[in-house]
Amino acid sequence: MIVAKFGGTSVADAASVRRVIEIIRLRRKDRPVVVVSALAKVTDALLKLAQSAESDDAVDQAISALVQRHEQIAAELPGAGQPLRQIHAEADELRRELLATRTRAVTAADLDAIAARGELWSSRLVAAALAGAGLESVWVDIRPIMVTDGRFTRATPYIQVLNKRARDCLRPLADSGKIPVTQGFIGATATGVPTTLGRGGSDFTAALLGAALDAERVEIWTDVDGLMTADPRIVSTARSLKAASYEEAAELATFGAKILHPATALPLVRAGIPIVILNSKHPEGTGTTVGPEAVLERVGDSPIRSISWKQGITVINIRAPRMLGAYGFLRTLFEVFERYETVVDVLASGEVSVSLTIEDRSRLDSLVRELAELGEVWVEERRAIVAVVGIGLRTTPGLAARVFNAVWPANVEVISQGASSINMTFVVREEDGPDVVRRLHREFFGSD
Ligand code: ADP
Ligand code: ASP
Ligand code: MG
């Protein structure tokens, strides 16, 4: 059994869905469970609609445009028109919900219920298109399987419930030769209230299902030839990696490589199930295999494997002379972050000062107010984290000098190297991010 996940660009239009059908046809003997994201840009459009107070006409127009994209695909693929009635009914429901949120503040629960439409619609279309192409598909609603807590927009699944329900529901279907088609990204609480796993969460869904079903592999189909030495949108000469370890992929994803959701590797580590990242526009390529083994093969002669960056970062600095020689200070500090449920990405600590980075600014004011009780606090905004990742970092002396030489003259702020020493991260000004990545890429991978 395999899990095959198709991202938004892989189901963007009829031509893409046709490619998806052929990819699945070739994998029938592998008993695929298919996970799909919303059509490209649909989640963005739905969330924008939910958050902006547009006029009734504008809401109608935006919903019609979204529905039309699905109709267009249905019109071009035999059999794919079957779910249109359902999609129209749900679009009416969505319209009512959006109008209802006008009279009150939009909640995170609203956002999840609204965003979920994207995956529900795309999966119905793909299931119908597969059936129309002679492949026996079954549309499966993931919500009663992906039972989560109620932390809307970043819900956590209950793994044991998920494992049992995924096995009970999906395995018999796949074993009987049917192709289950289900949604990434979305779930529901035990009482059936819709939730989502966070942006880009379909990769995580695929991995969770892969682990639950003890799949042979999890295929992530996207719009580039696997994991690359940098984001090809920033570095035109970026090269594909044949392989990477879970650890490397997780570091890259955590620090901005959008190609994988940062949690994707987590459920697969225990069973050692590989993730294969492939390009649906170039399906004959071999992509990147991400697995448990440390990958020793180098890209050219580079000691590093890839460079990623993430913008929208805030740096919080705390200077507290009482830290000197005291114990328990960091615990007190982190309790503040725990209380405000704010994740810290990078940390650098000196004798009397600590610098750390956060992405979620929603509780920044409260955080700063409480941290000010521990010492002098100052905040730097519009920063980016750059991460240099690769197992070669462990064994290559003088690498830091090479990195910082290449980065110069950009100003480097918080520097950190994890204990696993497969990554080196630092902070720069947001506007310097792309150039820093390009300069590092030139230094470590050359320009061709
Ligand atoms: P999908 O809709 O298939 O989930 P995403 O847009 O979420 O696709 O992720 C794919 C994109 O990730 C690529 O188009 C690429 O621009 C970006 N990306 C960022 N870093 C990397 C990297 N190191 N290797 C490959 N792609 C990357
Ligand atoms: N459609 C969702 C998003 O855009 C989930 C995903 O693409 O993985 O975030
Ligand atoms: Mg994605």
Closest ligand 1 atom, CA of 8? Answer: 2
pLDDT digits (tens, 9 = 90+) for 52-94: 867 888 899 999 999 999 999 999 999 999 999 999 999 999 9
The rounded distance, in Å, linking the Cα atoms of 323 and 321 is: 5
Distance (Å) from CA 206 to ligand 2 centroid: 12
Closest ligand 2 atom, CA of 8? Answer: 7
Ligand 2 site, residue 280, Cβ cutoff 6 A = no
Nearest CA to ligand 1 atom 12: 259
Residue from 259, 278, 142 nearest 212 by CA? 142
Distance (Å) from CA 439 to ligand 1 centroid: 20
Residue from 250, 256, 210 nearest 230 by CA? 256
At residue 288, does pLDDT exceed 80? yes
Distance (Å) from CA 352 to ligand 1 centroid: 39
At CA 422, angle to CA 420 and CA 423, rounded to 5?
105
Neighbours of 303 (CB within 10 A): 19
The residue-averaged pLDDT of 178-189 equals 98
DSSP, collapsed to helix, strand or coil, labels residue 138 as strand
Give the contacts of 439 (CB within 8 A, at least 6 positions apart). 406, 407
Considering the entire predicted model, what is its pTM? Answer: 0.95
Per 3-state DSSP, the chain is made up of helix, strand and coil in percentages (nearest 5) of: 40, 20, 35
pLDDT digits (tens, 9 = 90+) for 206-216: 999 999 999 99
Pocket of ligand 1 from Cβ distances under 6 Å: 7-10, 37, 200, 222-224, 227-228, 230-233, 252, 257-259, 306, 308
pLDDT digits (tens, 9 = 90+) for 332-383: 999 999 999 999 999 998 888 999 999 999 999 999 999 999 999 999 999 9
What are the backbone dihedrals phi and psi of residue 244, each rounded to the nearest 5 degrees, phi first? -155, 160
Closest ligand 2 atom, CA of 202? Answer: 8
Pocket test for ligand 1, best of 41, 119, 222, 227 (most atoms within 8 A of CB): 222
